[in-house]
Amino acid sequence: MSYQVLARKWRPKSFREMVGQEHVLQALVNALDHDRLHHAYLFTGTRGVGKTTIARILAKCLNCETGVSSEPCGQCSSCLEIAEGRSVDLLEVDAASRTKVEDTRDLLENVQYAPTRSRYKVYLIDEVHMLSGHSFNALLKTLEEPPPHVKFLLATTDPQKLPVTILSRCLQFNLKNMPPEQIVGHLRHVLGQEMISFEEPSLWLLGRAAAGSMRDALSLTDQAISFGSGKLNEDDVRSMLGSVELSFIYRLLETLAAGDPAGLLAVVAHMAEHAPDFEGSLDELISLLHRVAVAQVVPAAIDNSWGDAERIAQLAAAMTAEDVQLFYQIALNGKRDIALASDPRSGFEMTLLRMVAFRPAAVIDDNLAAGDLAPASPGAAQTVAREVDATAKKPEGAPAAPQPPAAAPAPAPTPTPVPAAKAEILEAVPPVPPVALAAVAAVELTPANWHAVLERLGLGGIVYTIATHCELRHCSGDDAQFVLDTANAALFNKGHAGQIRTALEKYLARPLTVSIEPGDVLGETPAMRQARLRQERQQAAVATIEADPLLQQLIARFDGELDRASISPVDP
């Protein structure tokens, strides 16, 4: 007996054997079991998701000699003839090869005659969108009011090309792409029944390469069995598909987390020795970054299908959530741009170098000690304290009070050398000369001056955004309690609270206990204050424009109207 390919051998023969598409099967089963049958069904979806298979099973259900039901017997002559493709009452038509209107007329000229042996005469038209406009017109009237013994089953991969007049006369069922988990589960069952040994990662490679098509997955599995001499192992399947070895992608992310551009290029050079698909490598990198992001937000949800949960957890701990999101976005853009590069490798390398170049530099260092910063003149601490206090007490919009002339400053002591590893912290110091942490102790943190202190902490990115939505509810001694606006708490985690605490401790030069809990704010957060000030400036700008006498004359003369949405205040 000749070998039968897996895609044909394992084609479902009943609805119970179908994998996936439950939303379609449920509707068809209920319609068949309750005798609520339509005269025309349209099945849409990409290749290999079961459109023609469902249509053939439906034809069996309609013409089974035991009666119309959702479970045909599969043993009667009608079921066997349909399964073997020799039923005279099931007319399968490939519309791609019969596009002319004459073909459609020839097909429909016998519609009025009763079926030869079966209950219904079933027309199964595959790739129906390939019919010409005249063919659709010829089909239209028959499709709307067919004889009671006729059923139309239409299948297409491109329903947008069908006229709405056809769509409105059919029950339409949209079949979904198969997720890799569903494909892998079916491949595991098929290979078990076929008694073929396999490695689990090889099935995931096939499941992802199938891109949602079960037929493609089975065809690739056939090819992989031949490639691997009757068995499936990960290396053979990866080689057959041209997939990049995941160990390279792990090393790339580990090198990125370490901030080592030279190491990145070395890994890419090693990859190039194996002639990889660099566009596919970007897909693997995007997939891995997604898994790392999930591990950071919900550690219990790490997918261990590849047996690498521990390594994913290590990568999640080695990178901040902000870095992972940045790398993911850059990788997506790189996938779009790689076709424009001079060659795939250079496009891949530039994507990685962008990740290094655009990664924000660290602002807060938990290991920084008070003695690591240079001491400053005694007047500097007074300046900082005076500015913060004045900002807290001065009414909004009031001019700054003139300051008395300062006495001539004493010669500054020789600054303590700043270690190179700590030098980057100086960039985050407030816009006054760097000050000794001990000298800033005079500045107290209160709900009234929280917004001013926040601007001097040197925070950035999502940590700064979270801090702006925090209300300082209580501060006493070494304990500060913040309430984070619940509307902006989705991205908050305990690591952000630690960075805010570290910044405050460095600024106030004393240990501090900081708690941040989501809740309803009672006062005004820095973000609310910024929004209020913007609104006040906007209202003032509109009032100034409206009060302009020249503008009023122009409006009166030309019967004009002021477009207030176009007015924006000019910041001083």
Q: What is the mean pLDDT of residues 552-566?
A: 84
Point out the least confidently predicted range of 109-113, 164-168, 422-426, 460-464. Answer: 422-426
Q: How many CB atoms lie within 10 A of CB 172?
A: 15
Same domain membership, residue 187 and residue 101: no
Full domain range(s) for residue 157: 6-174
Give 384 or 333, the one with higher predicted confidence.
333
pLDDT at 143: 86
Tokens representing residue 373 in the block: 């910063």
- pLDDT-derived band at 105 (thresholds 50, 70, 90) equals confident
Same domain membership, residue 114 and residue 79: yes
Total domain count, the chain: 5
pLDDT at 278: 86
Same domain membership, residue 448 and residue 375: yes
Same domain membership, residue 71 and residue 17: yes
pLDDT at 572: 57
Same domain membership, residue 448 and residue 321: no
pLDDT at 564: 83
Is residue 221 predicted with pLDDT exceeding 90? yes
The CA distance from 87 to 81, in Å, is 5
Q: What is the mean pLDDT of residues 469-486?
A: 90
- pLDDT-derived band at 4 (thresholds 50, 70, 90) equals confident
Same domain membership, residue 263 and residue 194: no
DSSP type of residue 421: G
Percentage of residues of the chain with pLDDT beyond 70:
84
Domain-terminating residue out of 115, 150, 174: 174
Q: pLDDT (tens digit, 9 = 90+) per residue, 238-270?
A: 888 877 677 888 899 999 988 888 999 999 998
- pLDDT-derived band at 423 (thresholds 50, 70, 90) equals very low
- pLDDT-derived band at 477 (thresholds 50, 70, 90) equals confident
- pLDDT-derived band at 362 (thresholds 50, 70, 90) equals very low
CATH number of residue 160's parent domain: 3.40.50.300
Same domain membership, residue 214 and residue 165: no
Same domain membership, residue 187 and residue 108: no
489: nearest Cα among 514, 476, 471: 471
Tokens representing residue 369 in the block: 């000690």
Within 13 Å of residue 123, how many CA atoms lie on the same side as its CB?
25
Same domain membership, residue 157 and residue 102: yes
CA angle, corner 63, sides to 57 and 68, nearest 5? Answer: 90
Q: What is the mean pLDDT of residues 503-521?
A: 90
Q: Are strands 171-174 and 150-156 parallel, antiparallel or unpaired?
A: unpaired
pLDDT at 410: 43
Note whether 224 and 236 are within 8 A (CB): yes
Same domain membership, residue 199 and residue 159: no
Q: Is residue 363 part of a domain?
A: no
pLDDT at 233: 87
pTM of the entire structure? 0.56
CATH number of residue 350's parent domain: 1.20.272.10
Same domain membership, residue 77 and residue 55: yes
Give 90 or 398, the one with higher predicted confidence.
90
Q: What is the mean pLDDT of residues 548-560?
A: 85
pLDDT at 571: 65
Domain-terminating residue out of 122, 152, 174: 174
pLDDT at 236: 86
Same domain membership, residue 216 and residue 150: no
Q: pLDDT (tens digit, 9 = 90+) per residue, 428-450?
A: 334 464 333 333 344 688 898 99
Give 112 or 398, the one with higher predicted confidence.
112
On average, the pLDDT of the chain sits at 81
180: nearest Cα among 199, 219, 157, 206: 206
pLDDT at 274: 77
